[in-house]
Amino acid sequence: MERTIPTLIFGLLAMLLIGLSLVVVTSRSVFRGAVALTGALGVVAGLFALLGADFVAAGQLLIYVGGIMIIMLFVIMLSQRPQDHLDRQTNDQWVWGAFFSLAIACALIMQFRAVYRGIFVTTVATPTSASIGRLLLGDMVVPFEAVSLVLLASLVGAVYFGLDKEDRS
């Protein structure tokens, strides 16, 4: 019974992630797509937590869901023209995207078949936040702080691209 509950949770999260991802790529509303992307990134954090990568799950929530998606939603809400919210969400590369999606789907199906045949060996996930915290605040403190400058630059870039073309000068 222990092995089936995490498998069931993984299956539910995977189906939710696929559904939200489909909403992201098929929605005509940029705002609705951004909200679905926020949900999809939250589900990915849940998958990381299920795998025992608690630090990566917390980082996923804080950085992507809590930071970048909020910036993107502010840019969308602060844009002045409602017609900008209904853009075509596909481009000329959709054939290549469909091809690679099909290839990834085939690879995932092969992996799932291997899991249910007993070839795939499962291990018990252990939390990783203590060792990563010691590393980030010890030897890697300078690169860790450099990442904050990159995030600040992305914030400035999001505000810049959110302005009208006349206001950018």
pTM of whole model > 0.85? no
DSSP 28: S
Average pLDDT over residues 42-65: 89
Mean pLDDT over each residue of the chain, to the nearest integer: 81
pLDDT digit string, tens, across residues 59-95: 899 988 888 778 877 777 776 565 555 555 567 787 8
Domain boundaries along the sequence of the chain: 1-84+100-126, 127-164
| C-alpha–C-alpha distance, residues 96 and 99, integer Å | 5
**Residue 149 burial by CB count (10 A; 0-12/13-18/19+): exposed, middle or buried?**
exposed
pLDDT at 34 over 60: yes
What's the token pair of residue 39?
């949900």
Distance of CA 127 to the CA centre of its chain: 21
Give the CATH class of 1-84+100-126: mainly alpha
Phi, psi (degrees; rounded to nearest 5) at 165: -65, -30
Residue 39's nearest CA partner among 57, 64, 72 is: 64
Residue 118: which pLDDT band, with cuts at 50, 70 and 90? low
